[in-house]
């Protein structure tokens, strides 16, 4: 296959030019805009540009997945985080915490470009057409060919990847999950129970026994202090009754 710098026909060329400009402007916008939400929007624009370029390369499935997964899910998550954490203010980029990384970025960028140029040899604008065999000329659509090779040649990597993703999801849930605070005994309750040697005995001892004494009073106060929450604290007085905050059920 001879290297093509420009696409085959005029409509192809026009599409490539427009989509390329969109993708480039979007990427520049991601880096240059000061507001993180604007950056995220620019990222979506860039992703769309790249998706159109994929369609141009006959990789329709890749284009659809790009939009569904990246634009439709991942950037939405970015936006969620940006909005909920309230970091949607413009950042002061003038002060650079690590001056060395600018130089490194330039160096690494050049390195990556050289690498791409070397790896893709004579087809440098586009890279290799496919790794799974021809997409065109088989009489089947790109989706068909892709699905076929995913579920035959590359079945094991495909399944292993999905297992990996499931493991990652479960791991994330395990790490992020907080112990239940409402249903199980809270720290305060545990401490109170400990102080009296079990909840029932505790209640009986404190209420049912003996005359009021200073010792008992101290003991009860201590138990309450250990309980550590504000349940039962008087919140106001009304017609001779002390209004006490009730423990929530």
Partner 1 sequence: MQDPLFIHGVGLGVVIIAIVKVLVVFAVLLVAVMLMIWLERKVISDMQNRIGPNRAGPFGLLQSLADGIKLFFKEDLMPDRADRIVFKLAPYLTLVPAFLVFTVVPLGGVVTIAHHRVELQVADPPIGILFLLAFSSISVYGAMLAGWSSGSKYPLLGSVRASAQMISYEAAMGLSVVAVVLQTHTLSTRGIVLAQAPHFWDWGVFRTGIVPFLIFWVAATAELNRPPFDLVEGEQELVGGFNTEYSSIRFALFYLAEFMNMITMSAVMVTLFFGGPDGPGFPFLRWLWPILWFAGKTFVFLYVYVWIRAALPRLRYDHLMDLGWKRLIPISLGWLLVIAGVIISPAWGFGILGGCVVAAVVLYQALKVARRRREIEAGAAGLGRAARVAAEVQLRQLAGPHEGGAS
Query: Which of residues 96 and 215 has its CB atom nearest to partner 1 in the complex?
Result: 215
CB of 1 to partner 1, least distance (A): 22
CB of 102 to partner 1, least distance (A): 28
Query: Which of residues 121 and 213 has its CB atom nearest to partner 1 in the complex?
Result: 213
CB of 117 to partner 1, least distance (A): 31
Query: Which of residues 7 and 79 has its CB atom nearest to partner 1 in the complex?
Result: 79
CB of 2 to partner 1, least distance (A): 22
CB of 128 to partner 1, least distance (A): 22
Contact positions toward partner 1, by CB under 8 A?
11, 35, 37-38, 41, 44, 60-61, 63-65, 67-68, 71-73, 76, 79-80, 83-84, 88, 141-143, 180, 182-186, 188-190, 192-193, 196, 199-200, 202-203, 206-207, 212, 216-217, 220-221, 223-224, 227, 231-232, 237, 240, 242, 244, 247, 249
Q: What is the DSSP string of the chain?
A: ----SS-SSHHHHHHHHHHHHHHHHHHHHHHH-SSHHHHHHHHHHHHHHHHHHHHHTT-HHHHHHIIIIIIIIIHHHHHHHHHHHT--SPP--SS-S-THHHHHHHHHHHHHHHHHHHHTGGGTTT--S-SSS-SSSSSS-HHHHHHHHHHTTTHHHHHHHHHHHHHHHHHHHHHHPPPPSSSSPPHHHHHHHHHHTSHHHHHHHHHHSSS--HHHHHHHHHHHHHH-S-TT-EEEEETTEEEEPPPP-
Query: Which of residues 76 and 104 has its CB atom nearest to partner 1 in the complex?
Result: 76
Query: Which of residues 27 and 33 has its CB atom nearest to partner 1 in the complex?
Result: 33
């Amino acid at each position: 296959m001879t290297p093509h710098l420009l696409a085959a026909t005029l409509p192809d060329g026009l599409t490539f030019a427009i989509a390329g400009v969109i993708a480039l402007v979007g990427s520049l916008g991601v880096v240059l805009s000061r507001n993180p939400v604007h950056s995220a929007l620019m990222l979506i624009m860039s992703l769309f540009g790249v998706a159109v370029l994929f369609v141009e390369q006959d990789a329709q499935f890749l284009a659809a997945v790009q939009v569904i997964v990246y634009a439709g899910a991942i950037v939405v998550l970015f936006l969620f985080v940006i909005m909920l954490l309230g970091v949607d203010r413009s950042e002061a980029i003038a002060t650079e915490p690590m001056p060395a990384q600018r130089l490194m970025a330039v160096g690494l960028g050049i390195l990556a470009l050289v690498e791409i140029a070397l790896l893709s040899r004579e087809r440098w604008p586009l890279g290799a057409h496919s790794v799974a065999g021809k997409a065109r000329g088989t009489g089947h659509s790109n989706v068909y060919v892709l699905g076929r090779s995913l579920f035959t040649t590359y079945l094991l990597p495909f399944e292993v990847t999905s297992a990996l993703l499931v493991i990652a999801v479960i791991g994330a849930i395990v790490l992020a999950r907080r112990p239940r605070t409402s249903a199980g005994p809270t720290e305060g309750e545990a401490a109170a129970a400990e102080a009296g040697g079990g909840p029932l005995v505790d209640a009986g001892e404190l209420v049912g026994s003996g005359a009021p004494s200073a010792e008992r009073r101290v003991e009860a106060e201590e138990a309450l202090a250990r309980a550590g929450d504000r349940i039962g604290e008087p919140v106001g007085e009304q017609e001779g009754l002390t209004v006490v905050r009730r423990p929530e059920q």
